[in-house]
Structure 1
Amino acid sequence: MTTHFTQGTWAEFTKTITEADIYGYAGITGDFNPVHINETYARATAFKGRIAHGMLTAGLISNVIGTRLPGPGTIYLSQELTFTAPVRANDTITARVEVMEPPSAKGHYRLNTTCTNQEGLLVLGGSARVAWKG
């Protein structure tokens, strides 16, 4: 039996971003932009200190999509992202995914995707389109 998620169904994942996460992400991707790894450099930027990679934060959305909603077997088709505030080491980020409309006949879902920090500030907004057969 196939389960379909209805409009408004949502799921979340919360994680505190650590120094190890930032350096690990830099090592995995090769993105050694000094705004992420060099405090002296980053202090001279508009951020006034080091920030986490935007795509590290976006990866928390992938966690929700692939493990919770719709869940295992989901295939990403597209993702739009808008980065609205910096994420720093020791910030606790909650990624939320919400079904925007009933699935298409092909099992495609449109999802609202957001990340907020421990203060409830939106740090990332966007939407995704995924395929899931359930």
Structure 2
Amino acid sequence: MDKQLTITESISINAPASKVWTAITDKAKIKSYFFGTEVDSDWKKGSPVIWSGEWEGKHYEEKGEVLDVEKGKLLSYSYLSTGREDVPENYSTIVYRLEDKGSDHTRFSITQSNFANQEACDHSKENWKTVLTGLKKVAEGV
């Protein structure tokens, strides 16, 4: 894994931070914009996070742990991708930041670090662009 490989993507969302927070922590909302993925977590520091679903006809289950939470402002978790050996150095760290810009406007950013290689980093970057576009629609109620 390469701790130097890091991506950051951000988007402006025309919704208050509280609605964006709900969109990133509510299981049904996440499924609607995150490639149909089922997410199971209570989003409390130290709690597990389990992602599962079907991709290209195959079932997958991925896992991580909530690392930090500041309700309405920050959510950080570890993430182990399918097929990776379950050792600490193979986990990525993902951080969501919500910046309240007033007047029902939120700046949302995601940072992910510790990729296996540049190809995995590039693939994830494209996926996050799709996820952020869907998150925006969900949070704005479009």
Give TM-score scaled by structure 2 length: 0.28
Per residue, is there more helix in 1 or in 2? 2
What is the TM-score normalised by the length of structure 1?
A: 0.30
- Higher radius of gyration, 1 or 2: 1
